[in-house]
């Protein structure tokens, strides 16, 4: 069997900022990638963003910006977040990249050559106000459930993929490879769905401009799921001059996804690949949902826990640990502050942190900070061997929460041993107690070194800190022979002891959070502003803010949100400014109103209309409230 391991996350939509669900999938993929690297595999780990399609187009239009500008902004946030969370991906694919578009054209070329594409008519629910098709699942009583807009049945020409022809081959694939979809219950769901019969799939849109141009017909763009799924091979250079990575790493070892998109990965994607004559992935794992108040957390429901707060306050590793430990991999779990804090105190501050600080401070106090002679007998070496074995077994079985349980059993054994031997009492016995004191502390120190390896895929930062404190930073770091007992040499000088996880006062903390959380329960506590993001006054002074008076205002044709304003800024000519406020303000009512304008912004085009400045408005959950000076201030007055 090849030693190569290719793991992927879904590529995330850029219509909104990442939340705990996206973090979960990516952290778990990172855990497996790190585990495999430490186990000696050649790993490739891919994540990225899904930037085309109606969703993104609509979100960008809603903000009065171009889709690519929205994508750039959200992608920057993803990059920052993955860095903070120590995500060790090897590549980040964006579907707007040329390398991706080329692969999409290639795969469509192959599917066309196989005779699996024909032209037909796509009929669906159409929202005339948004000028977009709405999925059947989002329509009730001829209205879009999300926007409330009326919808009508409409047809447009479209290219179709003969998905119906792949029913038997897909079923044979599932039957012959019962591990290709995990957990098992999900395999059964997918099989039942496919047994029910498959309809051909529309794979192009004529009514949408934001996508990969359909090869050979630029009246169409490629359907966003065919575009998106191809990322897994485009990032390996499929269809490029150099297909080295593709040859080495395809088929993927594991596509890790949420259960919401299992069908796309287990039905459409393998069918596209089969048609294109390419190997199908080895395994797709559909994990469960993080729920809050019994509802799936999603952007549209608006009950998403913003993770920045937890990361700022408790560190990335604590969040990584909680996510991996709290959710039985594959099932749903609830996200609550209470659960997070309890695990933080019990598992991290207590079981891990205290065991480490006790052991290390006793080594400092009683043994002059030096590791004593090795002992291989006793309960701890045995517990370590068992924990390592169980840990590996559980990781291989894709039960990372169980693997952590095994590591914590080792910590419990170390602690139990300390309790039983009472090194503080042995120290008082002088020479009589010395041997027992040394053997107890060696067992604890070496047990902790092995623990540091087991927790490394989950908490890379803390694992490193623990090794530094043990003086083990230069010892081999892997999940193979480095986990054998006895790796910590006698005489090693331990590092400086510092608490890994200071305990939290849960009651006081929950009170603190409640005060910072808006009453509607949306958990978005105000975050402390990190020092390095504070502005110098000189930077702020670069923004030229002036009072303006609106002279003319009219709607931008074909746009729901945009208004074109002609504003007097006390300059020779009126300024044209486009603002996304038409849903709240009648243009006529704005004429004569004094506003505040950023006068030195670079010009931008919104829906084809040039805007040379920006008006200021308070933003209450997306609803703008235009700001005005409190009194009769002439146009052109500086605002500071
Ligand atoms: O579906 N709990 O992108 P997306 C757990 N672009 N995981 C969650 C979650 C929750 N509450 N919410 C989201 C897309 N996720 C497509 C994918 S792939 C070729 C294209 C995670 O931004 C989970 O992994 O909506 C889910 O599958 C994914 O985010 C959906 O992200």
Nearest Cα residue to atom 3 of ligand 1: 12
Q: How far is the CA of 21 from the centre of ligand 1 (A)?
A: 7
Nearest-atom number in ligand 1 for the CA of 10 is 18
Whether this model's pTM surpasses 0.85: no
pLDDT along the chain (640 residues), means of 10: 92 92 97 98 98 90 92 96 97 98 98 98 86 84 88 93 98 97 96 95 90 96 96 97 97 97 96 98 97 57 61 94 97 88 96 97 97 96 98 98 98 97 96 97 98 98 98 98 98 96 88 59 42 75 91 88 91 89 84 92 87 88 81 86
Let me know if residue 305 belongs to a domain: no
Residue 541 pLDDT: 84
Residue (of 541, 537, 567, 538) closest to 553 by Cα position: 567
Pocket test for ligand 1, best of 9, 17, 25, 228 (most atoms within 8 A of CB): 25
- Asked if residue 362 has its Cβ within 6 Å of ligand 1, the reply is no
Q: What pLDDT does residue 490 have?
A: 98
Query: What is residue 159's predicted lDDT score, i.e. its pLDDT?
Result: 97
User: Ligand 1 centroid to 16 CA: how many Å?
Assistant: 12
Which residue, judged by its Cα, is nearest atom 19 of ligand 1?
229
Whether residue 495 is contained in a domain is answered as no
Ligand 1 contacts CB of residue 594 (under 6 A): no
180 plus 31 within the same structural domain = yes
In eight-state DSSP terms, residue 188 is H
Domain shared by 109 and 178, yes or no: yes
Shared-domain flag, residues 389 and 343: yes
Residue 351: what pLDDT? 97
Q: Do 292 and 340 fall within a single domain?
A: no
Q: Are residues 421 and 448 in the same domain?
A: yes
Would residue 636 count as lying in a domain?
no
Q: Is residue 496 part of a domain?
A: no
- Whether the CB of 160 sits within 6 Å of ligand 1: no
How far, in Å, is the centroid of ligand 1 from the Cα of 232?
15
* Domain C-terminal end among 296, 329, 352: 296
Q: Is 437 exposed, middle or buried (0-12, 13-18, 19+ CB in 10 A)?
A: buried
- 239 and 289 share one domain: yes
- CA of 577 from ligand 1 middle (Å) equals 37
Q: Which of 7, 9, 12, 281 for a ligand 1 pocket mutation test, highest count of atoms within 8 Å of Cβ?
A: 12
Which H or E element spans position 427? Answer: helix 423-428
Alpha-carbon gap, residue 7 to 400, rounded angstroms:
15
Instruction: Report which ligand 1 atom has the smallest distance to the Cα of 289.
Output: 2
- The edge-to-edge listing of strands for the beta sheet with 290-292 is 295-296, 290-292, 333-334
Q: Pick the atom of ligand 1 nearest to 290's CA.
A: 2
Check which CATH number belongs to the domain holding 237 and give it.
Answer: 3.40.50.620
Instruction: Quote the longest CA-to-CA distance of the chain.
Output: 96
Tell the residue nearest (CA) to atom 13 of ligand 1: 21
Domain-located, residue 638: no
Cβ of 391 less than 6 Å from ligand 1: no
CATH number at residue 433: 1.10.730.10
The answer to whether residues 157 and 287 belong to one domain is yes
Please give the radius of gyration of the chain, using alpha carbons only, rounded to the nearest integer: 29
What CATH number is associated with residue 605? 2.40.50.140
Please tell me the predicted confidence (pLDDT) of residue 360: 98
pLDDT at 58: 86
85 lines ligand 1 (CB under 6 A): no
Pair (318, 415) in one structural domain: yes
Answer yes or no: do 187 and 253 share one domain: yes
Please indicate, yes or no, if residue 509 is contained in any of the structural domains: no
CA of 450 to the centre of ligand 1 (A): 34
Q: Whose CA is nearest to atom 26 of ligand 1?
A: 258
Ligand 1 contact via 16 beta carbon (within 6 Å):
no
Write the residue with the smallest CA distance to atom 27 of ligand 1: 258
- Pair (39, 181) in one structural domain: yes
Nearest to 316 by CA among 501, 467, 453, 527: 501
Residues 352 and 460 both lie in one domain: yes
**Total structural domains in the chain?**
3
The domain boundary, picked from 483, 507, 536, lies at 483
Look at residue 118 and tell me if it is in a domain. Answer: yes
pLDDT of residue 126: 86
Residue closest via CA to ligand 1's atom 9 equals 21
Ligand 1 and 93: CB distance under 6 A: no
324 secondary structure, DSSP code: H
Query: Do 138 and 28 share a structural domain?
Result: yes
Which of 107, 261, 294 is the best mutation target for the ligand 1 pocket, counting ligand atoms within 8 Å of the beta carbon and taking the most?
A: 261
Tokens 């192959």 sit on residue: 110
Residue 10 Cβ contacting ligand 1 at under 6 Å:
yes
Assigned domain for 96 exists? yes
> Domain boundary at 262, 296, 330, which?
296
Domain carrying residue 133: 4-296
Residue 370 DSSP one-character state:
B
Element (H, E) at 444: helix 431-455
């Amino acid at each position: 069997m090849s030693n190569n391991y290719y793991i992927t996350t879904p590529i995330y939509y850029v219509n909104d900022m990442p939340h705990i669900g996206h973090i979960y999938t990516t952290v778990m993929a990172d855990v497996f990638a790190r585990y495999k690297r430490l186990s000696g595999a050649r790993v490739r780990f891919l994540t990225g963003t899904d930037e085309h399609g109606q969703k993104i187009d609509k979100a960008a239009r809603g903000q009065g910006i171009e889709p690519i500008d929205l994508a750039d902004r959200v992608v920057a946030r993803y990059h920052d977040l993955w860095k903070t969370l120590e995500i060790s991906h090897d590549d980040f694919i964006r579907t707007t990249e040329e390398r991706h578009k080329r692969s999409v054209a290639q795969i469509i070329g192959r599917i066309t050559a196989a005779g699996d594409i024909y032209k037909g008519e796509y009929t669906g629910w159409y929202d005339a106000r948004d000028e977009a098709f709405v999925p059947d699942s989002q329509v009730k009583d001829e209205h879009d459930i999300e926007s409330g807009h009326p919808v009508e049945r409409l047809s447009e020409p479209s290219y179709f993929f003969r998905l119906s022809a792949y029913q038997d081959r897909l079923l044979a694939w599932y039957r012959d490879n019962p591990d290709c979809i995990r957990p098992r219950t999900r395999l059964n769901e997918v099989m039942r769905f496919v047994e029910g019969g498959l309809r051909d799939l529309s794979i192009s849109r004529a009514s949408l401009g934001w996508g990969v141009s359909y090869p050979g017909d630029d009246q169409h763009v490629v359907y966003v799921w065919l575009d998106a799924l191809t990322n897994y091979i485009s990032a390996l250079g499929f269809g490029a001059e150099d297909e080295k990575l593709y040859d080495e790493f395809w088929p993927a070892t594991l596509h890790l996804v949420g259960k919401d998109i299992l069908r796309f990965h287990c039905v459409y994607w393998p069918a596209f690949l089969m048609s294109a004559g390419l190997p199908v992935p080895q395994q797709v794992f559909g994990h469960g949902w993080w729920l809050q108040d019994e509802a799936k957390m999603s952007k549209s429901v608006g009950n998403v826990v913003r993770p920045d707060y937890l990361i700022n306050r408790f560190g990335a590793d604590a969040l990584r640990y909680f996510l991996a430990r709290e959710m039985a991999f594959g099932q749903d779990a609830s996200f609550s502050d209470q659960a997070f804090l309890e695990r933080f105190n019990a598992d991290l501050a207590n079981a891990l942190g205290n065991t480490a600080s006790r052991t290390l401070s006793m080594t400092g106090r009683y043994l002059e900070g030096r590791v004593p002679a090795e002992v291989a007998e006793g309960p701890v070496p045995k517990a370590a061997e068992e924990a390592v074995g169980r840990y590996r077994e559980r990781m291989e079985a894709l039960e990372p929460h169980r693997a952590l349980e095994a590591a914590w059993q080792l910590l419990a054994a170390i602690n139990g041993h300390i309790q039983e031997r009472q090194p503080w009492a042995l120290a008082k016995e002088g020479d009589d107690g010395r041997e027992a004191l040394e053997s107890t502390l060696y067992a604890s120190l070496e047990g902790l070194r092995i623990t540091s390896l087991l927790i490394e895929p989950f908490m890379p930062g803390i694992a490193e800190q623990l090794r530094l404190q043990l003086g083990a930073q230069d010892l081999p770091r892997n999940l193979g022979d480095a986990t054998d007992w006895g790796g910590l040499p006698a005489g090693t000088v331990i590092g400086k002891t510092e608490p890994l996880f200071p305990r939290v006062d849960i009651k006081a903390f929950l009170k603190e959070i409640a005060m910072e959380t808006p009453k509607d329960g949306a958990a978005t506590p105000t975050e402390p502003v990190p020092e390095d993001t504070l502005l110098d006054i000189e930077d702020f002074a670069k923004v030229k803010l002036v009072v303006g008076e609106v002279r003319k205002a009219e709607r931008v044709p074909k746009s729901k949100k945009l208004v074109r304003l002609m504003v007097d800024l006390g300059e020779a000519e009126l300024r044209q400014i486009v603002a996304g406020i038409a849903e709240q303000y009648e243009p006529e009512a704005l004429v004569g109103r004094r506003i505040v304008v950023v006068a030195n912004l670079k010009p931008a085009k919104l829906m084809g209309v040039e805007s040379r400045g920006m008006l200021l408005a308070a933003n209450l959950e997306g609803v703008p409230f235009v700001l005005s000076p409190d009194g009769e201030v002439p146009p052109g007055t500086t605002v500071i």
